[in-house]
Amino acid sequence: MNLNEWIFIGLFFALGWALPATPIVLGKILAPKRPNQVKQQTYECGVEMVGSPWTQFRAQYYIFALVFLVFDVELVFLFPWALAYNQLGLFALFEMTVFIFLLVVALVYTWRKGALRWS
């Protein structure tokens, strides 16, 4: 495995950790600590917090995530197919059309059932 091609991704990985970690660590070291009850509240755009954030969320979030997952997995199948497209015949196009059609059926069903509408 030629790792040299991946050095840039490694650099981004390291930088991605370092950039948020540096101010957090610096803040811990440099900032004076005189906490009081108001200061220690969770900051949420200046809105006063009401109750605990650890409440039960509604099941609709799950549907959105699931729709996303289904089309994410479709992408995994589409990608190798698209790379090999030049070397494939008409039948492969037909197969992919069937594949996508079935997923569109599922999407239309979800849509018609109103599961995508935020109620």
Partner 1 sequence: MELTAESIVFLIMSAITLGGGLLVVSARNLFHAGLYLMVSLLGVAGLFVLLSAPFLAGVQVVVYIGAIAILIILAIMLTPSVTQLPAIFNRQWAFNLALAAFFFVLLVSVVSPIMGELGVDAWNADFTQKNPADVPADSIVNLGKDLVDPDKYMLPFEVASVLLMAALIGAVLLVSPDKAKADEGGED
**Residues making contact with partner 1 (CB under 8 A):** 1-3, 6, 9-10, 51, 54-63, 65-70, 72-77, 79-85, 87-88, 91-92, 95-96, 98-100, 102-103, 105-107, 109-110, 113-115, 117, 119
Smallest gap from residue 70 Cβ to partner 1 (A): 5
CA distance 50 to 44: 11
- Select 22 or 72, whichever has its Cβ closest to partner 1: 72
Handedness of CA 70, 72, 74, 77 (dihedral sign): negative
Smallest gap from residue 42 Cβ to partner 1 (A): 14
Query: What's the angle, vertex CA 77, arms to CA 75 and CA 80, rounded to 5?
Result: 100
In the block, residue with structure tokens 């996303």: 68
